[in-house]
Structure 1
Amino acid sequence: MDNDIAIKQAADWIRDADGLLIAAGAGMGVDSGLPDFRGAEGFWRAYPALRHHGFSFEDIANPAGFASNPRLSWGFYGHRLALYRATVPHAGFAILRTWASAMKHGAFVFTSNVDGQFQKAGFDAERIVECHGTIHRLQCVEACTDDTWPADDFSPIVDEASCLLENEMPTCPHCGGLARPNILMFGDWKWVDKYTDREERRFATWLESVQRLVVIEMGAGRALPTIRRFSERHGPRVIRINPRDYAISSAVGLGIPGCASETLQLLDKALHSST
């Protein structure tokens, strides 16, 4: 489909919708200046100290590290926590909120990102499913409880040259053992999913009320296709925005090549030019 035609069709879908489902992968945050971990080189550019260790993203984003080298694991996650706290969401977030405000049932967000950017941008926290968890909550490394708690009181100090945490590591208030982010990691059998399960139940209830759903998927690649598969289950009006992997079956939706922020601004312009 020609790009101009795709944008016009997408704008028509958005205008007609009574509910907006926002599906977001890692590419959504890249436009806000967050690092792209795609491929070893991209990961090592963000964390050069881990190149020295020979660690890939899969190696460090792994619960085993909290037993073998907890200061390195917390150096990695502590740096990310501080970075996400300091990041300002890009203009596309505000555009999505404006569109949703004109729809009867508003918006619901489904994201694999753990950065909390949608909450920071003003989206209702009770209308966000974080399917891989969040860095802004903690849990016990040993999952001694199914409780999770806010990371607000933890202010990491990280030596960027070594990627090691320099201050005290957070602990579990129940057993006194080490705490970790409430994030689904690779090879993770102790992730506490109670928080995410509750979010998914809220989403199911919201979805039942929507009659004319439009899905806007952004920054979701094929390497970890969780978001892409989720979107495709909620067609036939899926708008897939991606610089490279924008292909989608016409029975499910349409694809638009581009980054999230820039493409959302193009769609917003198309919406206003035809009203």
Structure 2
Amino acid sequence: MNQLLKDALQHIEEADAVVIGASNGLSIAAGIHLFADDNAFSDNFGDLALQQGFRCIIHGCFHAFPAEAEKWAFYSRMFAYFLHDRMPDPVMADLLTLVKNKHHFVVTSNIDAHFAAAGFDPERVFEIEGNCRNLQCANACHDQLYPGDELLATMAREQANGKVPAALIPVCPACGGKMQVHIETGPRFLKGAQWQARQTAYRDFVTQAQDGKILFMELGVGARNQLIKAPFMQQVYQQANARYITFNRGRELFIPDAIAHKSLGIEGDIGHNLKQLVSLM
């Protein structure tokens, strides 16, 4: 393993550009497991789960809450759990240490907003499925995202009996309708100007870097997450100077034969392995 990590660090240091792809496995390394009915879920969401009948954070995100007061109790508590209880994130800090002096870009399906919170340039982060801290009109009646940090923090602090006070429930400033957190849980997820701009920036970054030594570094991306994994593997296959490093666990650590000669697979706890890489710098 130590030699694998040394090889990985060499790839990072030699790269002209680094593209980071991150999904649920990276969140798990930071202690956030969206799909687990574990002690952390019980401690932070147990009362809401009993009231509403969902059994993990991701189920809560897709749950049909009976009223806005209950919906915002969950989403504000999720915001606080992700960004107040879990920051600073040492896993993300180590990742930033590895790439902060490199030309880099992040594409992620994580909704925890940890990249920007940890110091990554928001202009270099494309959050495909949104994040927990921005709000949008639930009907997507207009193309505008609203920062929700202050309101969500207040909701999390002042909620009681699984509900937030009615005075805190947001309404759309344009149509007067409901608001929602800007995460992709349905067809009205807003892929407006800001989302489109980040997607374009990501594509432009890869295009502009493809003639140099470009490293695709994938962290905790499962086999079913083809939004990130498939384009990474395709780019590595097509570009002569591209390299690929994937960090994952068990059977999720997969490298196709076609790109095996230019790839590294690092199995195990992502946080531990990133820390080891930093110690080798």
Tell me whether the two structures share a fold, i.e. TM-score over 0.5: yes
- TM-score normalised by structure 2 residue count: 0.81
Residue pair 2:5, 2:277 contacting (<8 A) in 1 also: yes
* Residue 28 (structure 2) pairs with residue 27 (structure 1): no
Residue pair 1:128, 1:199 contacting (<8 A) in 2 also: yes
Over 3 Å counting, the alpha-carbon distance change for 1:231 and 1:42 in structure 2 is farther
Q: Offset of 1:193 from its aligned partner? A: 0.9
What is the alpha-carbon distance in structure 2 between the residues aligned to residue 202 and residue 75 of structure 1?
34
2:200 paired residue number: 201
2:182 paired residue number: 182
**Cα RMSD over matched residues?**
2.7
What is the alpha-carbon distance in structure 1 between the residues aligned to residue 255 and residue 148 of structure 2?
38
Write the mapping of 1:241-260 to structure 2, written as runs, cut at 5 A. 241-244=247-250, 245-252=252-259, 253-260=263-270
What is the alpha-carbon distance in structure 2 between the residues aligned to residue 250 and residue 170 of structure 1?
51
Gaps of 5+ in 1: none
1:239 paired residue number: 245
- TM-score normalised by structure 1 residue count: 0.83
Percentage identity across paired residues of the two chains: 25
Over 3 Å counting, the alpha-carbon distance change for 1:221 and 1:38 in structure 2 is farther
What is the alpha-carbon distance in structure 2 between the residues aligned to residue 222 and residue 38 of structure 1?
16
What is the alpha-carbon distance in structure 2 between the residues aligned to residue 144 and residue 240 of structure 1?
39
What is the alpha-carbon distance in structure 2 between the residues aligned to residue 131 and residue 81 of structure 1?
18
Q: Offset of 1:100 from its aligned partner? A: 2.6
What is the alpha-carbon distance in structure 2 between the residues aligned to residue 224 and residue 207 of structure 1?
19
1:156 paired residue number: 155
Q: Offset of 1:136 from its aligned partner? A: 1.5
Q: Offset of 1:247 from its aligned partner? A: 2.5
Write the mapping of 1:103-252 to structure 2, written as runs, cut at 5 A. 103=102, 106-154=103-151, 155-157=154-156, 163-166=162-165, 168-185=168-185, 188-194=186-192, 195-210=194-209, 211-222=212-223, 224-235=225-236, 236-244=242-250, 245-252=252-259
What is the alpha-carbon distance in structure 1 between the residues aligned to residue 188 and residue 81 of structure 2?
25
Which amino acid in the other structure matches residue 258 of structure 1? Answer: G
More helix by share: 2
Q: Offset of 1:238 from its aligned partner? A: 1.8
What is the alpha-carbon distance in structure 2 between the residues aligned to residue 118 and residue 268 of structure 1?
18
Which amino acid in the other structure matches residue 233 of structure 1? Answer: Q
When the two structures are aligned, how many residues end up with a matched partner? Answer: 262
